[in-house]
Amino acid sequence: MARNLLAGVITVDDLPAATAAFVRRQAAARGYEGDPLDGVTHGLRTDEDTMERLRSGPRVEHHTTELLLSPDLLVIAYRQGHDDRYDQVDPAARVSFHRLDQLEVAPAATGLRPRGTGGVPQGVLALTSTALGTTRRTTRHVPTGNAPEVATFRAALEAAVQLACR
Protein backbone atom coordinates (compact mmCIF):
# COMPACT_ATOMS: atom_id res chain seq x y z
CA MET A 1 0.00 0.00 0.00
CA ALA A 2 1.36 3.41 -0.98
CA ARG A 3 0.83 6.39 1.30
CA ASN A 4 1.30 10.12 0.73
CA LEU A 5 1.06 12.76 3.49
CA LEU A 6 0.87 16.47 2.82
CA ALA A 7 0.75 18.89 5.79
CA GLY A 8 0.21 22.62 5.83
CA VAL A 9 -0.71 25.52 8.04
CA ILE A 10 -4.39 26.49 8.22
CA THR A 11 -6.57 29.04 9.96
CA VAL A 12 -10.17 28.72 11.07
CA ASP A 13 -11.15 30.55 7.87
CA ASP A 14 -9.63 27.69 5.84
CA LEU A 15 -12.12 25.17 7.25
CA PRO A 16 -15.04 24.34 4.97
CA ALA A 17 -18.14 26.09 6.40
CA ALA A 18 -19.91 22.76 6.95
CA THR A 19 -16.92 21.42 8.90
CA ALA A 20 -16.75 24.53 11.10
CA ALA A 21 -20.47 24.23 11.84
CA PHE A 22 -20.05 20.51 12.61
CA VAL A 23 -17.21 21.27 15.05
CA ARG A 24 -19.33 23.88 16.83
CA ARG A 25 -22.36 21.56 17.09
CA GLN A 26 -20.25 18.72 18.45
CA ALA A 27 -18.62 21.00 21.05
CA ALA A 28 -22.04 22.13 22.30
CA ALA A 29 -23.25 18.53 22.42
CA ARG A 30 -20.26 17.62 24.60
CA GLY A 31 -20.81 20.46 27.04
CA TYR A 32 -18.16 22.91 25.87
CA GLU A 33 -19.33 26.43 26.59
CA GLY A 34 -18.52 28.99 23.93
CA ASP A 35 -17.13 28.66 20.44
CA PRO A 36 -14.27 26.12 20.27
CA LEU A 37 -12.93 27.89 17.18
CA ASP A 38 -12.56 31.28 18.87
CA GLY A 39 -9.00 32.12 19.79
CA VAL A 40 -7.34 29.47 17.59
CA THR A 41 -3.66 30.40 17.47
CA HIS A 42 -2.26 27.56 15.34
CA GLY A 43 -3.71 25.15 12.82
CA LEU A 44 -2.37 22.19 10.87
CA ARG A 45 -4.08 20.22 8.11
CA THR A 46 -2.81 16.85 6.99
CA ASP A 47 -4.11 15.32 3.79
CA GLU A 48 -3.38 11.63 3.50
CA ASP A 49 -3.82 9.61 0.33
CA THR A 50 -3.46 5.86 0.39
CA MET A 51 -3.47 3.66 -2.68
CA GLU A 52 -4.00 -0.05 -2.64
CA ARG A 53 -3.65 -2.18 -5.74
CA LEU A 54 -6.56 -4.56 -6.17
CA ARG A 55 -7.37 -6.99 -8.97
CA SER A 56 -10.05 -4.63 -10.19
CA GLY A 57 -7.58 -1.73 -10.25
CA PRO A 58 -6.15 0.76 -7.77
CA ARG A 59 -8.27 2.02 -4.88
CA VAL A 60 -7.38 5.47 -3.59
CA GLU A 61 -8.68 6.81 -0.29
CA HIS A 62 -8.31 10.38 0.96
CA HIS A 63 -8.41 11.43 4.62
CA THR A 64 -8.11 14.94 6.04
CA THR A 65 -7.16 15.71 9.64
CA GLU A 66 -7.21 19.23 11.04
CA LEU A 67 -5.61 20.16 14.34
CA LEU A 68 -6.67 23.52 15.78
CA LEU A 69 -4.97 24.90 18.86
CA SER A 70 -6.43 27.55 21.16
CA PRO A 71 -5.10 28.66 24.58
CA ASP A 72 -7.10 25.98 26.42
CA LEU A 73 -8.19 23.42 23.81
CA LEU A 74 -6.95 21.19 21.01
CA VAL A 75 -9.60 20.35 18.41
CA ILE A 76 -8.99 17.38 16.11
CA ALA A 77 -11.34 17.10 13.12
CA TYR A 78 -11.18 14.08 10.82
CA ARG A 79 -13.04 13.35 7.61
CA GLN A 80 -12.79 11.17 4.52
CA GLY A 81 -12.94 12.26 0.92
CA HIS A 82 -12.08 15.56 -0.66
CA ASP A 83 -13.61 18.95 0.13
CA ASP A 84 -15.52 18.99 -3.16
CA ARG A 85 -18.81 19.56 -1.34
CA TYR A 86 -18.32 22.45 1.08
CA ASP A 87 -22.03 22.47 1.92
CA GLN A 88 -22.06 18.98 3.46
CA VAL A 89 -20.08 17.17 6.12
CA ASP A 90 -18.74 13.70 5.44
CA PRO A 91 -21.11 11.25 7.22
CA ALA A 92 -18.05 9.53 8.73
CA ALA A 93 -16.57 12.81 10.06
CA ARG A 94 -15.38 12.82 13.64
CA VAL A 95 -14.15 15.51 15.97
CA SER A 96 -12.58 15.39 19.41
CA PHE A 97 -11.83 18.12 21.93
CA HIS A 98 -8.90 17.90 24.33
CA ARG A 99 -8.36 20.29 27.23
CA LEU A 100 -4.68 21.23 27.24
CA ASP A 101 -4.31 20.81 31.00
CA GLN A 102 -5.23 17.11 30.56
CA LEU A 103 -3.18 16.48 27.42
CA GLU A 104 0.14 14.66 27.11
CA VAL A 105 2.21 14.90 23.94
CA ALA A 106 4.63 12.02 23.37
CA PRO A 107 8.21 13.04 22.57
CA ALA A 108 8.96 13.43 18.87
CA ALA A 109 10.54 10.40 17.25
CA THR A 110 14.10 10.68 16.09
CA GLY A 111 15.25 8.37 13.34
CA LEU A 112 13.43 5.37 11.94
CA ARG A 113 12.27 2.58 14.21
CA PRO A 114 11.68 -0.98 13.06
CA ARG A 115 8.12 -2.20 13.42
CA GLY A 116 7.26 -3.82 16.71
CA THR A 117 9.92 -1.99 18.72
CA GLY A 118 7.46 0.33 20.45
CA GLY A 119 7.59 4.08 20.62
CA VAL A 120 6.08 6.59 18.27
CA PRO A 121 7.08 6.41 14.59
CA GLN A 122 8.31 9.49 12.77
CA GLY A 123 5.58 11.54 11.17
CA VAL A 124 3.03 10.75 13.88
CA LEU A 125 1.79 12.96 16.71
CA ALA A 126 0.85 10.82 19.73
CA LEU A 127 -1.61 12.50 22.10
CA THR A 128 -3.00 11.09 25.35
CA SER A 129 -6.01 12.64 27.07
CA THR A 130 -9.57 12.25 28.21
CA ALA A 131 -11.47 13.94 25.41
CA LEU A 132 -14.52 16.05 26.26
CA GLY A 133 -17.62 13.90 26.53
CA THR A 134 -15.68 10.71 27.32
CA THR A 135 -14.65 9.01 30.54
CA ARG A 136 -11.62 7.02 29.36
CA ARG A 137 -8.12 8.31 28.87
CA THR A 138 -6.85 7.18 25.48
CA THR A 139 -3.91 7.74 23.16
CA ARG A 140 -4.51 8.90 19.64
CA HIS A 141 -1.89 8.68 16.89
CA VAL A 142 -2.38 11.43 14.31
CA PRO A 143 -0.41 11.08 11.06
CA THR A 144 1.25 14.42 10.32
CA GLY A 145 4.28 13.80 8.16
CA ASN A 146 7.58 15.58 8.74
CA ALA A 147 7.12 18.99 7.09
CA PRO A 148 8.58 22.05 8.83
CA GLU A 149 5.01 23.21 9.55
CA VAL A 150 4.52 20.09 11.66
CA ALA A 151 7.53 20.92 13.83
CA THR A 152 6.21 24.47 14.32
CA PHE A 153 2.76 23.19 15.30
CA ARG A 154 4.26 20.59 17.67
CA ALA A 155 6.38 23.25 19.39
CA ALA A 156 3.34 25.53 19.83
CA LEU A 157 1.28 22.61 21.16
CA GLU A 158 3.95 21.54 23.65
CA ALA A 159 4.36 25.15 24.88
CA ALA A 160 0.58 25.56 25.24
CA VAL A 161 0.31 22.29 27.19
CA GLN A 162 3.11 23.36 29.55
CA LEU A 163 1.46 26.73 30.08
CA ALA A 164 -1.96 25.17 30.73
CA CYS A 165 -0.53 22.73 33.29
CA ARG A 166 1.01 25.50 35.44
Mean pLDDT of 59-78: 91
Domain that holds residue 90: 2-164
Closest CA to 123 of 153, 100, 101: 153
CA 162 remoteness from chain centre: 19
Domain count, the chain: 1
Strand ranges in the chain using DSSP code E only, listed in sequence order: 2-9, 42-54, 57-69, 73-80, 94-99, 104-105, 124-129, 138-143
Please tell me the predicted confidence (pLDDT) of residue 97.
96
Phi, psi for residue 93 in degrees, rounded to 5: -60, 145
75-134, pLDDT tens digit by residue? 999 988 765 555 667 778 899 999 999 999 988 766 555 555 556 678 889 999 999 989
- Taking phi first (over 0 means left), then psi (-120 to 50 degrees means alpha), and beta for anything else, what does residue 155 get? alpha
Q: Is the pTM of this model over 0.75?
A: yes
Per-residue model confidence (pLDDT) at position 90: 76
For the CA atoms of 46, 47, 49, 50, the dihedral, rounded to the nearest 10 degrees, stands at 30
Dist CA 32 CA 26 (whole Å): 9
Distance from C-alpha of 64 to C-alpha of 94, rounded to nearest angstrom: 11
In this predicted model, what pLDDT tens digit does every residue of 135-152 receive, in sequence order? 999 999 998 988 999 999
